[in-house]
Structure 1
């Protein structure tokens, strides 16, 4: 007798099953199964399961174990299976209701509204109704209740299980009850792992689920101990006297013939303005033409050039219309327009969407695709029907405003964030399994040394390929078992999460396509992840947050507030030599995409002098193409080279004969082989995927096209081989262009509004003292003063006052951002007149520890009081305030002018701020410096200089002349990299140590456009 196992829970019953979907499909095929079922506690994996079954030629049976218990009730599970598409949609509805509303006393009426197309099974002791029968089998009210539930569904069964004593004790009574009331019955076996030997993996998963509760203990039930996949032979043995129950499982399987419809895309129609009598196609065209005229008005173009824009626009509009995406473009246009009208900065674009002129003239992007040679087909290929993907960047703090605007416009149930899953990565799998196994922390730390935190190879690869790990596994059974169990859960879902940027907007309520849940922030999110959402036909909108836009927004706002000058980044020159001078110097702290040491080196060597140089640098500085950097630099500065073929030299000339951009592949295929740009993009995709059959077919088409264009086949083969070899290294030019524009905007602000730029950077790095010190050094080299906080000037940010920059209050130890804001609120009633005034007005807000920390930071230095007195007089002021009346004038009080010794005041300041701003370690050398003519590092001149500085780092290097060193030194004004040649280093090496202060003799020389420093002598101080 055949048995269909209906109650199977998978990895998508999060941390409640050890069954991986891929393993389930393999098991089914290996055991000759034709149909398989899932009945997870939710719908997270339902669509993936469906697609996997279709791919593996298996019949999918999709169910859900829905817990309909209200908040105060015990478990009340009902198993619901979709036997057609309507039933599947109702499962989506019910899963959504369970998450968004829950079930109360009216739970059966809710079920009744969504019962069509569904088969229902009450699963033995998991059903509240059936558990009641165990207590009182003669209760007529319970029978009526059961029959009422039966009446809700066209197909209704009682599920009978024999997995534990409790189920067995209920079995006979339920069987009689069902017979007496003409209710069908079916054999059930709750399954959470496939093979009996997988029980250990299941136990580990369940114990991990308890980690969040502070322990790894879990009492396994007999049902769980018997939760393996039940095969036909064992099912027939267990239900030997009840073959009708096995027949019923087949009956249910035969009833289930679900086919999930895929009928195009499901994004909403754009709501046209009231009174409009045109469709979205005409409206988009009208907007685009108006937008083009606005864009062209700011350009100096002749008629021929203007026609290039007009023809490109008509071509793109035609493609967009034919592919059915007019409404999509209008939707994106609408929320970008909302952002701009609400003073929310919008990025210039991201990815291939910048290649669309329509996007540019609608204001979705701010990068001219014709000016920057960007291709529309790289974005939207008319020869490959797929959704356009327009990513839009907004500041971090504005993304939710856009999201809520969409909800308001389209409706709460038509807009949702896209769900995703946090999975067990190699490191987290090892960590969690080690925790439940009781593996020592020291052992775990040793193992983790061999597992990268990011982009780690699989645990199996590590176990086989890392010799030290292999030895540990061979020599210790616990470690062997640790790696075995961890590898079994690797990449399994561990928790529900939310996609970083994905938002979906539907033409109908989204639970017609995907179940919804509520995210941790209270907003709706899909249970299906992005790949499933797109496969269904829902459209993912990427509304991204880019912290650099926050930085830009803040700088622009601060400049306007402090200077009255308005900056319009859409109107600045993108050919400013001063900006390129900054980039070419490598002074790129805080410049998006250009901060790394390797990129700085490239910028200097490339001597960046145009935005095109920045685009090339952005694209080539990546794994693979960066090997060509030396060749690029040599060729830029005059090294001759032979092109690949004269017919395509013009395509590669801007990049000095090197394929750097994907778009160059498209242009080569178009010009050399007569491909359309759409066909050429298919070639690019084939090269990227490296599928042999596709590449072979593409080669044939390429050779045929090249031959028809008059090229020799040998030459054509060489060109094709070159494309295949280097094409995969190519970077999306659109992406490089738009991000280089963001970087240019930041460089522009840094060039012309330097203190505001650096203040914003420092605010973001307030907790990173090392980074702050680097920024301080850069500011000092430009002769800006970094001052301690001043209670009447400082705020929650770095305050710029001419060449003075005041440290923020919230950067002081003990002072949180909230406390700092409260201090500022009190100050709104008038500045603090003196120390006593401050203590008394803030005594309800600040404790003594906070006030002393402010005093030690220098916040009260502008008052007539020493830091020592501020520390010592606090208690007296508080005591005296108890006897003063509200409104009494606070007079200046004469305090002792005795200050702490230099060592104490310096240490106190360092404790309060994390470093010294006023009383640094160089103060004690002030008299010596004056007497012998010491120069500050910021003031050194060409020739010999005496400086007092601290050694920050030492790097030794073997040169032809012997061992030499590069050191970094700093004083309170600046820092410099200094070379010590071998002839000098041999004499001073034994006396040179990091973190020590010395009197240095430094020689400064001019080389090209920069100064070079080398050390000739030193004296320890």
Structure 2
């Protein structure tokens, strides 16, 4: 590093929630533009953005350094302090940086303890835990909110001196630094003078920092807006208080600006470079950290995998009367290919772990969905009972799930009955260790509509006007688009003509997409081979749950095993329907016994009589069903894939229905495409079809074809250019006409951009078909089960009851002597459930049922 280098060692990104105002991409780009060789982030009480920061910085050739501004309790982290050393807050600030892996692990433990043990307003550590977890950390005294600066401001110089000596003792004489800052804040000069004196008395070195909270000087006003959103105040209220914790100087200064301002503190400037040189911690993005799966004695992990796959194959394929003998050889070849690839890619433990907890669920009568996402394309998953959909029957591709050309973690998401999901997670915790299993963090963002409302409130804009502007943000393909784009389209006129609106939108542009709050991902669970805090720190959820500080993609990036345990209400409804059929004396079919060619079920779909039928109940879908009049499940799979904003907007759904009734309109650019596109009437509907076309016409392996599929779906122009050329060359080698190939590429890019995962569509359409079958054959039981699962949603109850009446199902009113907690069957009628009565709580319902069980029927109001 050159003499004039400087490294920012105190910097807050957007992950200092509603306090830092810097997007990671913008930060890294600014550092790159200023030729900074290293960069640090020190967010408040967390390292939420650490993984992404490291990846983005390394991609720009910048050395990333992980740090944190810790909250320090005035005494013990276990104390319920209501005031701190300044008589106000029960915490002060302290900067720590990871020098090496030991330091990173210690920081993870400190932050985990801060949330689990020291949370009082903020996640706090104390000097006791710092003393036992200081190795590998470099610390500094922080901003005016640090313990040493605060004591200086209170005129307690000797105590400040003592604190400095304590920190020096905790971290070691070469590992603690005193920060010099200059932001034009009152008392800053006084603090700096005292800091210099303490440095001289203790030999603790100085370091120049800037406490960065926003990127550019002109972002100061927008940062004030952000702080008002955090504190739920207006700008007028904030400015009325007079004192400000920030000035325009809290921006990301260049090396030249810092050297110009602190030229008298050359040692403090050079120390930033020396500290950066010492910090060597890097995330390991290559190693996987899977938990060890215990196999029965006498087996290796791989042998046991082959053994249970073989047993599943025998049960589901070899012994199945539904599969022709001549087809079983193809099944065996596919199984061998998948199994060998799973072994070669070292994912055996992954499959065994998933298979095991699904086995637990099924053995404990916890209903499990038939499959979700691309995992439904795996025959191994089918043989291990991970999925219940035959991938060969539905022509699903394994390479869409696991690509041999690109080593990436498999991703198996599982749907469980909503009442049983927690039991499965508890089983996983028990099997692999409570400390080794955690749920995963997620972040709510400042999106355009909500940001407009927030900024409008802060600036005191009239509510009706704010609402009008927010409603002008359009929704495209199911997603709210960004304000930058909206200003060029739907907001263009009002932005150019109304200065008040322009001011608000200009602020929104600066804060849009910043993290707003942290929460718990609805489904994500991580399973590690040792306590999770050895890999990443834990956060505390709103109900006290342990939650990782890294998002799901970051969890996978550092090699941890992430899975989605989803609660799907429809699976619960199907289970409850079976139970009601049995209770009423009927014979409930198993899911395996439900015929997939049932005439009555397809009549129901063709009539659009699909209220409560999974994924087929919207008005638009009902209309599509009536127009298509499907007669086989493959048509339903296509319809489910096409009923999405992209294909609907492009008119592909209408084209498909038109072709279904006019076969003469079905055409193929090449005859070789007919076997691939015949089921979708010549249209590219599925992502898997793009892969098959590239395989057939251009000679791509299916793994290479999956890379093409990804490039199209992610609109990666650079990769597309390379793969297009490869496609043309491959097609040319096979003697295909160049003009036809160009037309085919255009079709692939157009339709492929809307293409849907066939494996997911097939699996979820199977669930939809099951619900359609139950509604067609057991309407009272199915609707009663559905009503019971929506008892907390009065609007849905009303809609479902109207649907019952339309279908001739008698509805009986609530009766204190006859109603149960949920909706029940009485002969061919549905009795209203007590818990569905508005303002009747669970405790009251249980009291009624208990009293009725004790005394029998209530005879009058007084007895009741």
Counterpart contact for 2:580–2:824, Cα < 8 Å: no
**Deviations 1:589-620, CA, capped at 9 Å, x for gaps:** 11111112222222223222222222122223
SS in 1 for 2:856: coil
Pair 1:352 & 2:356 matched: no
Counterpart contact for 2:371–2:414, Cα < 8 Å: yes
Structure 2 partner of 1:185? 206
Deviation at 1:376, TM superposition (A): 1.1
Deviation at 1:180, TM superposition (A): 2.3
What is the distance in 1 between the residues matched to 2:138 and 2:577?
A: 61
What is the distance in 2 between the residues matched to 1:644 and 1:653?
A: 12
What is the distance in 1 between the residues matched to 2:688 and 2:164?
A: 71
Counterpart contact for 1:160–1:167, Cα < 8 Å: no
Tell me, which stretches of 5 or more residues in structure 1 are unaligned? 842-1021
After TM superposition, the structure 1 = structure 2 runs for residues 824-973 of structure 1, keeping only pairs within 5 Å, are 824-835=849-860, 838-841=861-864
Deviation at 1:777, TM superposition (A): 4.4
Structure 2 partner of 1:18? 21
Structure 1 partner of 2:302? 281
CA shift in 2, pair 1:778/1:258, >3 Å: closer
Deviation at 1:47, TM superposition (A): 2.1
SS in 2 for 1:834: coil
**Deviations 1:306-345, CA, capped at 9 Å, x for gaps:** 2222222111100100011000001110111111111111
Counterpart contact for 1:615–1:740, Cα < 8 Å: yes
Higher relative contact order at CA 8 Å, sep ≥6: structure 1 or structure 2?
Answer: 2
**Deviations 1:11-66, CA, capped at 9 Å, x for gaps:** 11111122332332333234443333222112112222222221222232332111
CA shift in 2, pair 1:680/1:252, >3 Å: closer
Counterpart contact for 1:124–1:158, Cα < 8 Å: no
Pair 1:669 & 2:691 matched: no
**Deviations 1:813-838, CA, capped at 9 Å, x for gaps:** 54334322321221111333422xx4
CA shift in 2, pair 1:613/1:130, >3 Å: closer
Counterpart selection for 1:243 from 266, 270, 277: 266
Deviation at 1:354, TM superposition (A): 0.8
Counterpart contact for 1:783–1:803, Cα < 8 Å: no
Pair 1:208 & 2:208 matched: no
Deviation at 1:362, TM superposition (A): 0.6
Deviation at 1:106, TM superposition (A): 9.2
After TM superposition, the structure 1 = structure 2 runs for residues 1-80 of structure 1, keeping only pairs within 5 Å, are 3-41=6-44, 42-69=46-73, 70=77, 71=79, 72=81, 73=84, 74-80=90-96
Structure 2 partner of 1:697? 722
What is the distance in 2 between the residues matched to 1:151 and 1:675?
A: 57
Q: Which has the larger radius of gyration?
A: 1
Structure 2 partner of 1:815? 840
What is the distance in 2 between the residues matched to 1:579 and 1:30?
A: 63
Deviation at 1:252, TM superposition (A): 1.9
How many aligned positions are there? 835
**Deviations 1:439-491, CA, capped at 9 Å, x for gaps:** 22122222233134772332233334336x63466344x33322221221111
Deviation at 1:558, TM superposition (A): 1.9
Counterpart selection for 2:286 from 251, 263, 284: 263
What is the distance in 2 between the residues matched to 1:681 and 1:144?
A: 58
RMSD between aligned residues:
3.0
Pair 1:86 & 2:102 matched: yes
CA shift in 2, pair 1:778/1:175, >3 Å: closer
Pair 1:194 & 2:218 matched: no
Counterpart contact for 1:789–1:806, Cα < 8 Å: yes
After TM superposition, the structure 1 = structure 2 runs for residues 113-512 of structure 1, keeping only pairs within 5 Å, are 113-123=132-142, 125-128=144-147, 131-132=150-151, 135-138=155-158, 142=162, 146=166, 149-150=169-170, 152=172, 154-163=174-183, 164-211=185-232, 217=238, 219=241, 221=243, 223-225=245-247, 226-232=249-255, 235-236=258-259, 239=262, 241-273=264-296, 276-296=297-317, 297-452=319-474, 455-466=479-490, 470-471=493-494, 474-476=497-499, 478-512=500-534
Counterpart contact for 2:143–2:181, Cα < 8 Å: yes
Counterpart contact for 1:187–1:249, Cα < 8 Å: yes
Counterpart contact for 1:353–1:379, Cα < 8 Å: yes
What is the distance in 1 between the residues matched to 2:483 and 2:214?
A: 21
Counterpart contact for 1:503–1:542, Cα < 8 Å: yes
CA shift in 2, pair 1:83/1:141, >3 Å: closer
Deviation at 1:741, TM superposition (A): 0.6
Counterpart contact for 1:129–1:146, Cα < 8 Å: no
CA shift in 2, pair 1:268/1:150, >3 Å: closer
What is the distance in 2 between the residues matched to 1:239 and 1:629?
A: 65
Pair 1:540 & 2:565 matched: no
SS in 1 for 2:522: strand
After TM superposition, the structure 1 = structure 2 runs for residues 973-988 of structure 1, keeping only pairs within 5 Å, are none
Counterpart contact for 1:374–1:733, Cα < 8 Å: yes
**Deviations 1:411-461, CA, capped at 9 Å, x for gaps:** 222212121211101111111112221222122222233134772332233
Counterpart contact for 1:787–1:805, Cα < 8 Å: yes
SS in 1 for 2:443: strand
Tell me, which stretches of 5 or more residues in structure 2 are unaligned? 85-89
TM-score by structure 2 length?
A: 0.90
- After TM superposition, the structure 1 stretch with the greater mean CA deviation from structure 2, 615-624 or 61-70, is 615-624
Pair 1:563 & 2:567 matched: no
SS in 1 for 2:141: strand
CA shift in 2, pair 1:744/1:103, >3 Å: closer
Deviation at 1:714, TM superposition (A): 4.7
Structure 2 partner of 1:95? 111
What is the distance in 2 between the residues matched to 1:772 and 1:730?
A: 35
What is the distance in 1 between the residues matched to 2:125 and 2:462?
A: 51
